[in-house]
Amino acid sequence: MFRFPEGFVWGTATAAYQIEGAARDDGRTPSIWDTFAATPGAVRNGDTGEIACDHYHRLDPDLDLIARLGVGAYRFSISWPRIVPEPGQVNQKGLDFYRRLVDGLHERGVTPYATLYHWDLPQYLEDEGGWVERATAERFAEYADIVHEALADGVAHYTTLNEPWVSAWLGYGYGWHAPGRAEPAAALAATHHLLLGHGLAAEAIRRRDPSAQVGITLNLAPVGPATADPADQAAADRMDGQLNRLFLDPVLRGAYPADVVELYRPVSDFAFVQDGDLATIAAPLDFLGVNYYRPNLAAAEPPGADPVAAGLRLPPGVPVTAMDWPIQPDGLTELLLRLRREYGPVPLYITENGAAFHDYLDPAGRVEDPERIAYLDAHLRAAHTAIGEGVDLRGYFVWSFLDNFEWAEGYSKRFGLIYVEYGSQRRVPKASAGWYRDVIRANGPA
């Protein structure tokens, strides 16, 4: 075994809509994902998160499972419509659930890492325009303040947004995720207002507690050309701009990349950017969360086509996960080194890394998942290499703790360390859960 630095954080992660269920319980109102999942054809097999893993009603046994994994940290998200079910209304029962979650983690020796937004925008805000409207960023800061006031004595680490690229572009640009809009101009406005919401929420939390650790999580990927053709290299630059730099640059440099702004001039004049916004967005981070699953290959897209939706290619001869994502752990090392080289010494956490495979219960009642073990092992080695080359990487969270509702894929894809038999809600630790526990133990005190 190779050892990680002393104090390295070992964790696992989930998101509220993917596991909680209890969609109508204790005052919760619909999110955009409730509405989207109820739309015929939007989600595979018509699956919804109405029940999911029923985590809301199975909190204590699930926390026991987390403790048995041996992790030191658990990253979870908070359901906005469970906390603010109607404009101006605070739902104490929703706050009480997360209080029980946080207290239960501390009782088990696990540090909570709270994510304020993992894609479940209250539907009433979408009815008013959603993230396309500036007011949503302001409402997000108010919600962040409510959560922090309730949980400040139990939570020290806050991620404002999870993967704003997905919220903006899959939700508003391509229509593949909630709220199902396919409008590039709306995606650009949503991008800005999500990032503004991040900045405003960070301000709200730090006003109450300057010692709070506040960051943002971005889904990032190295991007390379599919061939040596200069047209493919230009396509790779465009894809990198839209996927990576459109978010990294304003957060860490205080400016949008000029080439991406020019790329989208035909659909937007960027008038939604107001004086002072970029300073708010670029307030110093306590950490940057990195979600890594795959690198991307880009090929020249047709004129006027989207650089990600139209230009993405699969590398030949590379093994893939059940999501058809290529398994290339060296891309993680490349990404982490790039972040240090181009954006400076911001502390990093890998807030998601994992893979879906075709898991099943065997006749003996076990779930053997050697592919996942090999995947996690290779990516941990890649992360260890980056640390050895000077990257300030402070923790690693496996995605995910439980099999769960995998967004537009419904329940067809299993990422969990714990197998969930959805009909009975029985939990079965996979072989990878034991493997991960052993890795954590091996990295304990010498």
* Nearest to 395, CA basis, from 6, 3, 9: 9
Is 197 within 8 Å of 205 (Cβ atoms)?
Answer: no
Q: Which residues contact 125 (CB under 8 A, 6 or more apart)?
A: 136, 139
Question: Would the annotation count 18 as a binding residue?
Answer: yes
What tokens were used for 396? 């690693």
Is 270 within 8 Å of 299 (Cβ atoms)?
Answer: no
Question: Would the annotation count 407 as a binding residue?
Answer: yes
163 catalytically annotated: yes
Is 416 within 8 Å of 403 (Cβ atoms)?
Answer: yes
* Alpha carbon distance 236, 131 (integer Å): 27
Is 97 within 8 Å of 55 (Cβ atoms)?
Answer: no
Choice among 20, 126, 163, 371 that is catalytic = 163
* Alpha carbon distance 357, 369 (integer Å): 8
Question: Would the annotation count 293 as a binding residue?
Answer: yes
What tokens were used for 172? 């508003």
Question: Would the annotation count 198 as a binding residue?
Answer: no
Question: Would the annotation count 399 as a binding residue?
Answer: yes
* Nearest to 190, CA basis, from 170, 220, 176: 170
* Alpha carbon distance 375, 331 (integer Å): 13
User: Containing H/E element for 210?
Assistant: none
For 275-326, give the secondary structure using H, E and C. CCHHHHHCCCCCEEEEECCCCEEECCCCCCCCCCCCCEECCCCCCECCCCCE
* Nearest to 164, CA basis, from 133, 142, 131: 131
Q: Which residues contact 352 (CB under 8 A, 6 or more apart)?
A: 13, 217, 219, 289, 291, 292, 293, 397, 399, 400
Question: What is the phi/psi pair of residue 292, to 5°?
Answer: -125, 130
- Alpha carbon of residue 333 to chain centroid: 19
Question: Would the annotation count 162 as a binding residue?
Answer: yes
* Nearest to 118, CA basis, from 93, 90, 147: 147
DSSP code string of 395-426: EEEEE-SB----GGGTTS-B--SEEEETTTTE
Choice among 20, 126, 301, 352 that is catalytic = 352
Would you please indicate which residues are annotated as catalytic (active-site) residues?
Answer: 163, 352
Q: Which residues are annotated as a binding site for substrate?
A: 18, 118, 162, 293, 399, 406-407
